[in-house]
Amino acid sequence: MRGLGWSFFTLFLLYLLLPMLAPVVYSFSRLWLDLLPEGFTLEWYARVLRDPKYLEAASLSLRIALLAVAINILAGVPTAYALYLWSDRMGEGLRRLLQVLPLLVPPLVVGLGFLLAFNRPPLALSGTFWIVVLGHAALGFPFFFRTVYAGLAGIEVRLLMEAAQASGAGLWQRLRHVLLPNLLPAVISGSLVAFAISMGEFEVTSMVAGFGTITLPLLLFQSLREDFRAASAVASVLLYTTLLALVGLSLARRR
């Protein structure tokens, strides 16, 4: 029985991992005709690095991701804190909604929503850099919020803040010396997740972004037709970003 379970588990793992690993293998190989690829090469990566188109897209994606993370930190930490403090029935419901709703709504609907919401003055942001940033921030929010909220619950914030207050600390001192340092690991974890989501986001981006905002995943999609090799290298780079975020995540958890 156990053996059977393990076999299924292994098969499932392969089923999940193989498609993910395929571009990586492909990106390093000269030829892949039969079952196994042949000839190790860095040529495809070099081609990507030499092409300013890819570099621009990468830098754009990076800027968008960092801004999306910044927005999440600025909006998400106070929101999580406020909701944690009045976590009565209403706060609890609101929290569930914030955590679950964005996950259930199909990305196409989110994209359409953004298009409609930011279509007219004074918020005529359609097709701009900023609508992509806002969209990515919103997509990362539930994950960011969940992580920070769990962090708050884990450190008994209310008690610690009261202990600081009874020690003579004013609001600013409590936030600076007690809340922020203790919440930092959770904020870092949440930021890494939001960052990874933004770097790889395709669906909503493809709907709201204009011709001037070609992020790395968008470019990847375009070049699939022209240059499959370079595309696999770009896809691999995106995968590495996610893996790096994962490593960072487990480091932040361990602290």
Partner 1 sequence: MVDLIGVRKRYGRVVAVDGVSLSVREGEFFTLLGPSGCGKTTTLRLVAGFETPDQGEVRISGQGVNRLPPEGRPIGMVFQNYALFPNMTVFGNVAFPLRLRRLPERVVRRKVGELLEMVHLQGLEGRYPRELSGGQQQRVALARALAREPKVLLLDEPLSALDAKIREELRGELKRLQRETGLTALYVTHDQEEALALSDRIAVMRDGKVEQLGTPQEIYERPSTLFVARFVGIGTLVPGEAREGRFHRDRPWPVQVEGEGRGFILLRPEQLRPHPEGFLEGQVGLATYLGSLLRLEVETEGILLKVDLNPQEEVRAGDRLRLALPEAAPFIKEEA
Q: Of 96 and 177, which has the nearer Cβ to partner 1?
A: 177
- Using CB under 8 A, list all residues that contact partner 1: 155-156, 159-160, 162-170, 173, 177-178, 181-182
Supply the minimum distance, in Å, between the C-beta of residue 218 and partner 1: 41
> On the CB side of 11, how many CA atoms lie within 13 Å of its CA?
6
Q: Of 76 and 185, which has the nearer Cβ to partner 1?
A: 185
The number of beta carbons lying within 10 Å of the beta carbon of residue 241 is: 20
Cβ pair 73, 143 in contact under 8 A: no
Cα–Cα distance, 60 to 76 (Å, whole number): 23
Supply the minimum distance, in Å, between the C-beta of residue 89 and partner 1: 13
Q: Of 59 and 167, which has the nearer Cβ to partner 1?
A: 167
Cβ pair 175, 151 in contact under 8 A: no
Q: Of 136 and 174, which has the nearer Cβ to partner 1?
A: 174
Supply the minimum distance, in Å, between the C-beta of residue 174 and partner 1: 9
Supply the minimum distance, in Å, between the C-beta of residue 184 and partner 1: 8
Q: Give the containing element (helix H, strand E) for 29.
A: strand 29-31
Contacts of 73 (CB under 8 A, 6+ apart): 144, 187, 191
